[in-house]
Amino acid sequence: MFDNLELFNKVIFRSLGRQIPIAQAKLIAAGTINQGIFIETSDGNFFLKLNFQPKSDIFEKESEGLKVLKKNTPLQVPEVFGFGKIGDQNYLLMEWIQSGRGNGSYWKELGLGLAQMHMASQADFGFETDNYIASLDQQNSSKGTWADFFVENRLEPMIGKAYYEGLVDLEFYKRFQKTYPLMEKIFPKERPALIHGDLWSGNIMSGTDGTPVLIDPAVYYGHREMDLAFSRLFGGFDEEFYEAYHTLFPLEPDFQARIPVYNLYPLLVHLLLFGKSYLSGIKKTVDKLLG
């Protein structure tokens, strides 16, 4: 790729205000949306994310999320140096964090750090701007209750989009909407908490010192159990993580029963991104809710 050195030089200059000689650049990640490039320079190393998304603010929103996390958690979060668009490519230039093996207290540190982050709060559920989860729009308009926020800003936009795109039929769309009046009684009443918003094992890593690092957030002030439920969806989190979290910020009883309801949202996201293989899990939860 790395006839793209002209692009990388432009990114560095725009982000740092000076030119730094590049020793090497190599592709280290190529997902469905973004490319990840390691850039080695005479003045340190950087991680560059690129994509061709028509939504030119997608990295701006990720940058905002990273900065909010960095201010509100003891966990390591990559520093952002710059974002923008050059030609048809969006870019986000960040601190390079060399990955390492988790140390003996990795999961405990992650649990305690997330609990501390969840203690950051504001008056209403939402965020100052809308943002994205992966490449999908994520609405964050302010709501006074979690049930209203979850239904109006999370479930309805995604199931409506799934219907529009032919991933669910009208009968199931209407059946799904019948769960909405039940939501108010399902969730414990808690203050809004700053959450990562996309907390699965692919969005955590360990640095060379073995301590946990948070990456790729989709932040907002929501119900803190959303993060913990999402972490259960695909697995990969040690039980020590949950035990440590609970010692600092205990959950209300019956959390396990609420997990499938919270995970309607990430399952809808995956349905929209990856197709109908995720629909059966959504239907199972809806059937259980409606009896």
Provide the annotated active-site residues: 198
Backbone angles phi, psi at 272, to 5 degrees: -70, -35
For 8, the token pair is 């990388």
Distance of alpha carbon 201 from alpha carbon 36, whole angstroms: 18
How far is 135 from 84, CA to CA, in rounded Å?
16
Q: How many CA atoms lie within 13 A of 85 on its CB side?
A: 12
CA distance linking residue 161 with residue 173, whole number of Å: 10
Task: Indicate the SS3 state at residue 246.
Answer: helix
- Tokens coding 190: 């808690």
DSSP string covering 132-185: EETTEEE----BSSHHHHIIIIIIHHHHHHHHHTTSS-HHHHHHHHTTGGGHHH
As a whole number of angstroms, the distance between CA 109 and CA 98 comes to 18
Provide the residue type at 227 as one letter: D
